[in-house]
């Protein structure tokens, strides 16, 4: 009896002790930040790295990075915001820059303003412009699509051009060179997907203009940069110095297979270019050609995305602090994601790190990352507005007509009419 009671007592004591420690654990309960993004090898992996770094100094904060397809993230975000069901939303979400204004303006108050917390003067100005509404800045700038002219040194040398000849080109000169490259090597100058307006967007933004002006009004018929961009693409097509591509994979194939002499696109293509070891040493990178109009530059952007904190998030303060500590300040983090994932962030100070300083043997020892970092700071700021994707479709619809001799002004009028239909 006595023994039984004692055993009983010790069991109760153990139980009390166990529940006490259990309670203690709950009191120091870890805060979990949920993040939605879309590419397991890119932004998902990068966010996991960022989270691991933050958890090292803040052991009470953990991260749950959920990956969906990009269109799926948009669909879920749209549904969650439209239904007003706050617990259905993550704490941080990745949004493509072209679509950012649409979410910020359609759902005012849904995203946390970070002005005052984040020092935006350290970032590429055009990335900050993307996430600014009425003077308030939302979001943390992430990957950049700063553009470059990747060219095959070997093909151009055969055609009689040295790397010096590829610097500070105009688009007219680019087309001339393309004609000579084809005459002497039989290779086309550039791969072009007629159903993708990417090149038009690159050329237009390089001259500081967009489909929309700073107030968000359509800027099509009176837009000299858009006109010149459409003309340039038309000239490339009628000079027949391009290899037509059908869709993204086909377009990538034009240069991985060695069929074209150059690529004009965002810096994120570098990994794909370098994935062909047999082409090592044969590539060079120059600034993109410029238009011959007022405000023309050799710097532009294609694509890119940024992180946004949801206002409804229960861990809002931690989420903002996390983004600010890692993406806003950690130079070493930017070296790591450049090395491991080929990601070029938007923090200008990142260029002082070892990875950005390194010369790349694949590009014949050029310091390509320093160059890209130079161009990053010079990308003209534009307002991507709400209907970039719709305007893009209107442009691609007009491209074939241009090669058949339709005057550019008429094509612009048709584009304008279609875009106006969306804005009303």
Partner 1 sequence: MRTSTANIASAILTYGFVGLMAFLSVFPFIWMALGATNSSIDIIKGRLAPGEALATNIANFFTLVNVPLVFWNSAKVTIFATVLTLAVSSLAGYGFEIFRSRHRERLYRAMLLTLMIPFAALMIPLFIMMGKMGLINTHIAVVLPTIGSAFIVFYFRQSTKAFPSELRDAAKVDGLKEWQIFLYIYVPVMRSTYAAAFIIVFMTAWNNYLWPLIVLQSNETKTITLVISSLASAYYPDYGVVMVGTILATLPTLAVFFFMQRQFVQGMLGSVK
Interface residues with partner 1 (CB under 8 A)?
34, 38-42, 64, 66-72, 75-76, 79-80, 82-85, 87-88, 90, 249-250, 252-253, 256-257, 268, 271-272, 275
Which of 327, 271, 291, 279 lies closest to 131 in space, CA to CA? 327
List, as one string, the DSSP characters of 330-367. Answer: -HHHHHHHHHHH----SBGGGGGSHHHH--BGGGTTB-
CA distance 408 to 53: 52
Note the Cα 396 to chain centre separation in Å. 21
The distance of closest approach from Cβ of residue 79 to partner 1 in the complex, given in angstroms and rounded to an integer, is 5
CA–CA distances in Å: residue 16 to residues 9, 10, 21, 47, 419: 10, 10, 9, 41, 69
Nearer to partner 1, 10 or 246 (CB): 246
DSSP state of 210: -
Nearer to partner 1, 158 or 272 (CB): 272
Structure-token match 């998030």, residue found = 313
The distance of closest approach from Cβ of residue 420 to partner 1 in the complex, given in angstroms and rounded to an integer, is 26
CA distance 11 to 6: 9
Nearer to partner 1, 76 or 316 (CB): 76
Nearer to partner 1, 171 or 251 (CB): 251
DSSP state of 222: T
The distance of closest approach from Cβ of residue 85 to partner 1 in the complex, given in angstroms and rounded to an integer, is 4
Nearer to partner 1, 362 or 414 (CB): 362
Nearer to partner 1, 63 or 123 (CB): 63
The distance of closest approach from Cβ of residue 264 to partner 1 in the complex, given in angstroms and rounded to an integer, is 18
The distance of closest approach from Cβ of residue 88 to partner 1 in the complex, given in angstroms and rounded to an integer, is 5
| Close Cβ partners of 215 (under 8 Å, ≥ 6 residues apart) | 383
The distance of closest approach from Cβ of residue 275 to partner 1 in the complex, given in angstroms and rounded to an integer, is 7
SS3 317: helix
């Amino acid at each position: 009896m006595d023994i039984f009671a004692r055993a009983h007592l010790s069991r109760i004591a153990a139980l009390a002790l166990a529940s006490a420690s259990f309670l203690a654990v709950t009191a120091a309960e870890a805060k979990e930040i949920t993040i939605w993004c879309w590419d397991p090898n890119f932004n998902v992996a990068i966010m996991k790295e960022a989270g691991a770094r933050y958890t090292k100094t803040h052991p009470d904060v953990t991260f749950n990075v959920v990956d969906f397809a990009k269109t799926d993230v948009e669909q879920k975000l749209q549904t969650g915001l439209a239904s007003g069901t706050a617990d259905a939303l993550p704490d941080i979400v990745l949004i493509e820059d072209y679509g950012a204004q649409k979410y910020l303006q359609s759902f005012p108050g849904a995203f946390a303003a970070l002005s005052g917390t984040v020092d935006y003067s350290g970032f590429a100005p055009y990335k900050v412009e993307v996430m600014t509404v009425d003077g308030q800045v939302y979001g943390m700038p992430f990957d950049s699509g700063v553009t470059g002219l990747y060219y095959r040194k070997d093909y151009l040398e055969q055609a009689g051009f040295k790397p010096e000849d590829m610097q500070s080109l105009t688009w007219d000169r680019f087309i001339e060179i393309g004609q000579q490259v084809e005459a002497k090597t039989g290779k086309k100058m550039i791969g072009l997907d007629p159903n993708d307006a990417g090149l038009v967007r690159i050329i237009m933004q390089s001259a500081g203009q967009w489909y929309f002006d700073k107030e968000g009004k359509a800027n099509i018929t009176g837009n000299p940069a858009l006109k010149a961009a459409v003309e340039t693409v038309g000239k490339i097509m009628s000079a027949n110095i391009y290899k037509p591509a059908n869709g993204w994979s086909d377009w990538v194939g034009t240069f991985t297979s060695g069929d074209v002499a150059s690529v004009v696109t965002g810096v994120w293509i570098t990994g794909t270019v370098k994935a062909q070891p047999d082409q090592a040493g044969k590539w060079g990178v120059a600034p993109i050609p410029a238009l011959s109009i007022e405000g023309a530059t050799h710097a532009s952007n294609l694509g890119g995305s940024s992180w946004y904190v949801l206002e409804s998030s229960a861990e809002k303060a931690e989420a903002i602090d996390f983004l600010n500590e890692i993406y806003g300040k950690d130079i070493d983090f930017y070296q790591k994601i450049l090395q491991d994932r080929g990601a070029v962030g938007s923090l200008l100070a990142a260029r002082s790190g070892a990875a950005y300083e390194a010369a790349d043997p694949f590009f014949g020892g050029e310091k390509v990352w320093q160059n890209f970092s130079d161009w990053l700071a010079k990308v003209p700021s534009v307002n991507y507005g709400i209907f970039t994707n719709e305007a893009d479709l209107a442009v691609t619809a007009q491209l074939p007509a241009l090669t058949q001799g339709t005057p550019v002004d008429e094509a612009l009028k048709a584009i304008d009419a279609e875009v106006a239909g969306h804005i009303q």
